[in-house]
Amino acid sequence: MKNLDQHRAPIYEGLEKLRKKRVVPFDVPGHKRGRGNPELVDLLGEKCVGIDVNSMKPLDNLGHPISIIREAEELAAAAFGASHAFLMIGGTTSSVQTMILATCKAGDKIILPRNVHKSVINALVLCGAVPIYVQMSVQEPIGIALGLENDRVAQAMAEHPDAVAILVNNPTYYGICSDLKSLVDMAHAAKMKVLVDEAHGTHLTFSDQLPLSAMQAGADMAAVSMHKSGGSLTQSSLLLTGEAMNPEYVRQIINLTQSTSASYLLLSSLDISRRNLALRGKESFEKVIEMAEYARREINAIGGYYAFSKELIDGQKVYDFDVTKLAIYTQGIGLTGIEVYDLLRDEYDIQIEFGDIGNILAYISIGDRLQDIERLVGALADIKRLYARDGKDLLSGEYIQPEVALSPQKAFYAQRESLPLQETVGRICGEFVMCYPPGIPLLAPGERITKALVDDIIFAKERGCSLQGTEDPTVSVINVIKEDS
């Protein structure tokens, strides 16, 4: 067995060797180490464009790695406690879709919560699997969906024993965690695979003060956004697998959709960031936890805001909570989350992760500093003083469980017609409608449109949410299924 020295970064080392050799490039990319595009060099720097290279023997090939990329995968698997790890350059969207495409085919059932990222439902459109949504509880007045409850998942398994997999968010965007170990045990007893969207849980592996990671809980596959809390470049991700998965089959699935021109900027960032987490992750995330908890205390002391945390844990709807997630309910000062989001950016030069109807999320990670936290707290206090109002006109950010009338694939490819938003009530949606971020669809293909959903969409538009997914960029009309199709 190879010596898995976490001090190594084989892709980074390979790029450094290449750079020192001064190889004359008669291959792509066409900027030829930046010489053909000086403005790109001015923007990114000579070192960056100098390692923006194509696959070659000394640098291995992501589609069929046999040397330095294979070594980097082995190191990542060891760092995250996985049987295998894949370096992904299509974002965690690609990782999530690979999980589903590797386990589900047309007509297969998959059990999952509805508050999934759009990439999950996109994968169902691609493969033709049928979603079995588990009813979700809602935390009032915050209006967020909570975790998967064991008894409801058990009921779904009993009603659909032919389901091939379950999918779990660990954690949700807001920090909510389900009882993942119990869900894994239940699913495996029922001969179902467990897929975990761990886009917001890269850090879980590296601290015993945080909820269990997917691999620690025995899941079969996990999609991990290294570029979020792991520190790598945007669009880089990891796909982790357990012992029950055939890694070479999984790679074949990845190669169906992943680029054959892998970016070595992304690959090397994954390699270096894995090394950083393996060597310094525990210490780094302890500091992140301290900063997030400090911010939570200071924000709650302002009054009106509610930065929620472990007090939500009840052992069922909320089994655990990721305290690094600084999610803040804002309607207590009479403002929606998106209004506070806009004020922070436009008036205080503070860019947070997202704002929705009821909440904002400030992403705290290894790159934050205490003075940044202080600035955020001060800005929130100022916003309350200057902009607070009674908020009687606000809608709650209520989570609405959808009625699924058609599978996502059948609905997406069915004959459609466009109707004004207010005239779509009762019809079956033929496209996505979502606020982005966080990218959780308000409506997905195949779901019945209700008045409550239309009201939510109109309210989100009025308050400035970035609505996406529809053919109409203004979201004034929605594609619905033709009734005779």
Domains in the chain: boundaries: 281-387, 408-481
391 vs 72, more confident: 72
> Could you tell me if 333 and 388 are in contact, meaning their C-beta atoms sit under 8 angstroms apart?
yes
What is the band of 1 on the pLDDT scale with cuts at 50, 70, 90?
very low
Taking the C-alpha atoms of residue 287 and residue 203, their distance in angstroms, rounded to an integer, is 12
Q: What is the pLDDT of residue 456?
A: 86
How far is it, in rounded angstroms, from Cα 284 to Cα 114?
Answer: 33
Task: Kindly indicate whether the domain formed by 408-481 is annotated with CATH number 3.40.50.300.
Answer: no
Residue 76, SS3 per DSSP:
helix
CA–CA distances in Å: residue 331 to residues 353, 380, 390, 392? 18, 13, 9, 10
Please check the confidence at residue 294 and state whether its pLDDT lies above 80.
Answer: yes
Classify each residue of 269-290 as buried b or exposed e, where b means 16 or more C-beta atoms within 10 Å of its C-beta. Answer: bbbbbbbbbbeebeebbeebbe
Average pLDDT, the chain: 94
pLDDT, tens only, 37-52: 999 999 999 999 999 9
Q: Which tens digits make up the pLDDT trace of 100-144? A: 999 999 999 999 999 999 999 999 999 999 999 999 999 988 989
Distance CA 396, CA 402 (A): 17
Encoding tokens for residue 188?
Answer: 């495996």
Give mean pLDDT, residues 265-276.
Answer: 98
- For residue 153, pLDDT over 80 is answered with yes
Q: What is the pLDDT of residue 485?
A: 55
Mean pLDDT of 80-84: 98
* In contact, 340 and 360? CB cutoff 8 Å: yes
- Across residues 319-340, what is the average pLDDT? 96
pLDDT digits (tens, 9 = 90+) for 427-468: 999 999 988 777 788 899 999 999 999 998 898 888 888 888
Confidence check: pLDDT of 385 > 80:
yes
Residue 185 pLDDT exceeds 90:
yes
Where residue 36 falls among pLDDT bands split at 50, 70, 90? very high
Q: Evaluate if residue 484 carries a pLDDT over 80.
A: no
pLDDT at 155 over 90: yes
Query: Which of the four pLDDT bands, split at 50, 70 and 90, describes residue 281?
Result: very high
Does domain 281-387 correspond to CATH entry 3.90.1150.10? yes
The C-alpha atoms of residue 449 and residue 441 are separated, in whole angstroms, by: 13
Considering only residues 402 and 245, tell me which one the structure prediction assigns the higher pLDDT: 245
Instruction: Determine what percent of the chain is predicted with pLDDT higher than 70.
Output: 99
Across 220-240, average pLDDT: 97
pLDDT per position as a tens digit, 46-72: 999 999 999 999 999 999 999 999 999
Confidence of residue 397 (pLDDT cuts 50, 70, 90): low
**pLDDT given at position 399:** 66
Backbone phi, psi, residue 156, to 5°: -65, -40
- Size of the chain in residues: 485
